[in-house]
Structures are given as C-alpha cells and as structure tokens.
Amino acid sequence: MCGIMGYVGPQEATPILVDGLRRLEYRGYDSAGIAVANGSIDIRKAQGKIVNLETLLEVEPLAGSVGIGHTRWATHGVPSDKNAHPHSDPSGEFVVVHNGIIENFQSLKEGLIDKGAEFTSETDTEILAHLIAREYDGDIVEAVRRTVALSEGAYAMVVMTKREPGKIVAVRKISPLVVGLGDGETFLASDIPAVLHRTRDFIIIEDDEMVIVTADGATVETIDGSPVDREVIHIDWDSQQAEKGGYEHFMLKEINEQPAVITETLAGRLDEDGTVWLEDVSFDDDYVRDLDRVWITACGTAYHAGLIGQEIFRRVLRLPANVEYAHELRYADPIMSSNQLTIAISQSGETADTLAAARQAGEQGSRMLAITNVVGSTLARYADDILYTRAGPEISVASTKAYMAMLIAQYLLALRIGAVRGTVDPDLAAALSHGLHQMPGVIEEVLSREPQAIVAAEAIKDAQDVYFIGRGLDYAIAMEGSLKLKEISYLHSEAMPAGELKHGTLALITDGVPVVVILTQRAVYDKTISAVQEVKARGGRIIAVAYDTDTEIDKYADIVMRIPDVEDLLGPVAAVVPLQLLAYHVARMRDHDIDQPRNLAKSVTVE
C-alpha cells in the first residue's frame, strides 16, 4: 500500500502534492517524493516520513504547476532515498509513481538488462519508467497502454513526461485511484480525503481503466482504449469521516480492507497448482527436507496467527511445530538446532519480546524467518528469510487486516515447505491455492453480512463475561475473537478448546451467559456440538459462526453468524471476520475509543 498524488493547474504543484501526501501518509510512510515539470522534470525524494521531504524541499525547492507524488510502504527493496518514488527512465523524461506490485517484474527486468538497461533502484516501479520510455513514439497514452499490456499485477500508476507538458496519465488495476475536479485544475489521488479540502467533485477510476488528466479535466478510457462515460460524484463527508475513508473508525476501515490485503499478500506468489514463489525466502531444498521442527514465536494477535500456522504445519505437513509466546520462549531454554526453523511473526517487526526470542533462536543455531508487515523493520533486518505480509499500515490498535495477512502468509509458507518435503498432496495444494485465490470474494461476502454481527453484538453488549470455544483451527480463531472483544469492549472474555469447557469453566455457565462457538472444522463438528449441548443444558446463550449449509446448528444456537462454505483448512480465514465485526460493534455500542483502547499500544517495544 502506498499513497499517490497528481496535480495539473495554475497553482504551484509542490505544496499541493506535499499536503496531499501528508493526508495519505496512513497508506505508507517509509519514504516520499515528488516530481514537478517545468520545462524539464525534477525529482526530490527522501527516506522516512514526509517531514524529511519537506526539509529537503526547503533547501532544494521545486517550481512548476504540474507534478506527481508518492508516499511509500515498501514491497520491493528496503526503504531508502534511491528506492523512494518517483522513478524515471535514464533520460529523466518519463517519471512514474506506483502503488501495488508488478508481479512479473523479475522477468521484465531481466529482459531490459539484456537490452543494456541499468537500474538505480531495487523497485519494480523503475522498470515501468524504462518500459514507457522504450514504448514511446509520440503518444504517452499509447506508451502507457503498451506498458500495461506487458505488466502483470495489481497496481495503480501515474505517469508524466517532459515531451507532453500539462498532461498526466494514470492507470488503475485494483489499487485505488480517484480524480478530483477543480476550477481549471485537476487532482489525482489514492483516496478522496487527500484532496477533499480542495474540491468536492470526484471521478472514481475503476479497475482496468486509464485516465488522461489536464487542467481542463479528465478523460476516462478502458485500458483497451474504449471511452468511458463516468459520472461525477459530489462528496459531502466531513473531514474527519473522510480521513477514515467514510468509515467511522480505522478499525472498521481496516476490517473492510481485508479482501484487498489478501489479494496483495498473494500477488505473484501462488500459482493455480499450488506452486509458491517467495521473493525473500532463500533456504534451499536440502535444508527444508532435513527440518525436524518448526518453532513459531510471537505476541498478541500475531501469536494467534501463529496458532493457525502450528496447526497447518502439524496437520498438513506432518512436521512437528510449536507456537510459543515470545516472552515465554526467551526464558524457556528451548532445545534448538540448525535442523530447525524459527518463524517470528510480528506486524511491526519491533516488538521487544519477539525480537529477543528471534535473536535467541538465531544464537542457538536455528534459521530465522520473519513474517512481518514492515519492510526494513528490526526483525526483518535480523532474519535469514523474510515473508512480508503487504497489509499496508494498520492504524487501529486492535489488529485485523495485519492478522489476516499473517494467516495468508503462513498458508503460502506451508505450501512452499510442503512441496519440497513432498508432504502436501498435489490435489490438496491445488485446492488450497484455488481456495486462497477465492478468498477475497468470500470475505467480501462475509463483510456484506455485517448486520448479523450487529444482532449478535446487541445480545452480548451488557454481558459480564463471554466465552469463546472451538476445536483445532477453530480454537485458534476463538482465541483471536476473544482477544478482539476484550481489548476494545473491555468485557471479560475467555477462549478455550471446546472439549476443555467441561473441565472447570462450565461452572460459570448459567442462565443467559453468552458462549460463542466456531464451527468450521467438519471432522470434529459433532464433538463441538456436544460442548454446545452442555452449554444449552445450563441455560447459556449460543452465538455460532457456521457455514451456510450447516442446518444442524439451528437446533441449538440463539444467533448464527453465517459464512460461505469453504475448505475446512481455510475456514478460519472466513470465520474470524464476523468475530472482528462482533467485537467492533460491541465496543461501538458501549461507546468506547475503538481505535485507541485504554492502556494498550500498537507496538510494544519494551519488555
């Protein structure tokens, strides 16, 4: 995820671009840059937050009234001045900013190197600038169109050339892009809030469309060149609503971003037959074959993601796996060796306990793989192998989309390791691949059923205690659902394996006590139903998360939150979403500060 901006009009472009980037900083903040045309095109860019770019611009200002800008959240190449956007071709006449991923960038890059091209950055974006320059024969629109035809992936890009002043061309393939229409000036941005204080009239660019922007307005076409007649929409949100993309809270916005996050995490990494490509994972096949144990270590929500990984490694790969809280593992004196892999999971890559556990594993000879959302984070720098989750910045303290990306990343890793060890049946690999590729659509469907979470939230919002139960993968989801609820609603909640309920907690189940049960694991369905019956017999209220085709649960549940049927191994991916929405709505009904719950922090960098 990155933020992109463009401006054509009578005013100085620099302050407009920088101001827009500030408002888009939530989409990425590891480096930023702008390019402004004034006869030639000049670029200024700086690693770090936008304030660093502003400081640079004070020393080296840019004048001109056409420009493009970018705030970056790295996917290819570490955050640095040279990897910051905009990127240009060697002549400096064509400049590009880009949000998203060019999946076939490696083969495009090799093709260009064969033709003598040299690159100054590690990004996929620079390749686009080279390609556009090569394809140019007097018409920038056609050059961009031909370049798009060569590039696979999900992205938005904005292009400007010295050869055609006063014009910007942009393309959307999945990543968002809007045009703001002013009086004699036109804006481009990743989202509406970036320029909402300058205009309220917008054109939303849709997938596989391009837009040609001048000071007089914008022309929308399909990527193939057919004209598009797009309605101008007038926005009347207030500025606070706008920052959250129209959502009331960042948490809800981030929950709704999950389909797009899954698409990004998978992009370029998973073939239909289940073959996986992980760009920063370099362990060799002999090492993978000799592995005798996997450790997974993390804290909080990342630990709950690790619970899913543990189950997948054990069940699908038949590989011993243990997930351990990092703050426990570091003092547990575990027996580790070079035949083991330690996977440290951390959204921020900066959690002190997780870093300490990862270092300890490394010192004991275990190879260390980081699953993290932040390129260049301390954890990523320390790790032998890295699997970036590509969820984009997460603002809400309660993690949702970063958790989702951690799940997807672990499925990818398991498929990659399983293929080498020969422990994943090819049919299962293909089924998982298919299921993962379908998952954005499944989650869209679950999100469209938000009203069922509101009904469930009404039922538990005044409870003293809430219990979450499930078996196997559903137990992992129960843990995460319970954590989400307690951290933002401040209700006491507890999760346990469904079979454990009768060993103590059942004493607390009396009339009306809510028990949330997750039922995506068909193999243990009947066993879980036994626990449900134990709850019913004591007067407890059952709130279930169940597949559409599960009619049995109607006999027992007071409320059912339905999800579409999916492969059991992927059930948790779909089942966590209603639980996120449940927690959100309970907290909202209780009028809490949802994005910044009391006593908690997004990243805990102390022990």
Interface contacts to ligand G6P, rule CB under 6 A: 299-302, 346-348, 351, 354, 397, 399, 600-604
Residue whose CB is less far from ligand G6P, 394 or 568 = 394
Chain residue at closest Cβ approach to ligand G6P: 300
Nearer to ligand G6P, 133 or 302 (CB): 302
Residue 510 CB, nearest distance to ligand G6P (Å)? 32
- Residue 69 per-residue DSSP state: E
Strand boundaries in 55-93, DSSP class E: 66-72, 87-88
Distance CA 580, CA 103 (A): 31
User: By the 8 A CB rule, do 594 and 251 touch?
Assistant: yes
Name the residue among 180, 141, 192, 181 with its Cα closest to residue 163.
141
The gap from C-alpha 282 to its chain's centroid, in whole angstroms, comes to 23
Would you say 131 or 397 has its CB closer to ligand G6P?
Answer: 397
CA angle 372, 378, 379 (to 5 degrees): 45
**Residue 51 and residue 283: Cα distance in Å, rounded?**
38
CA distance 152 to 59: 39
Q: How far is the CB of 415 from ligand G6P (least distance, A)?
A: 23
How many other C-beta atoms can be found within 10 angstroms of the C-beta atom of residue 411? 25
Measured CA to CA, the distance from residue 74 to residue 131 in angstroms comes to: 21
299 is an active site residue: no
In terms of CB distance, is 334 or 597 closer to ligand G6P? 597
Nearer to ligand G6P by Cβ, of 62 and 302: the residue is 302
- 502 as an active site residue: the answer is no
SS3 of 126-184: HHHHHHHHHHCCCCHHHHHHHHHHHCCEEEEEEEEECCCCCCEEEEEECCCCEEEECCC
Give the CA distances from residue 594 to residues 82, 109, 452, 487, in Å, rounded to whole numbers and listed in that order: 38, 44, 20, 9
Smallest distance, ligand G6P to C-beta of residue 398, A: 6
Active-site annotation holder among 2, 109, 173, 484: 2
Listed residue (231, 245, 88, 223) closest to 176, CA to CA: 245
345 vs 517 by CB, closer to ligand G6P: 345
Q: Are strands 492-497 and 201-204 parallel, antiparallel or unpaired?
A: unpaired
For the sheet with 201-204, list strands across it. Answer: 40-47, 31-38, 66-72, 3-8, 186-189, 178-181, 201-204, 233-234
Nearer to ligand G6P by C-beta: 28 or 435? Answer: 28
Within 10 A of 247 (CB to CB), how many other CB atoms are there?
A: 15
Positions annotated as catalytic residues are 2, 602
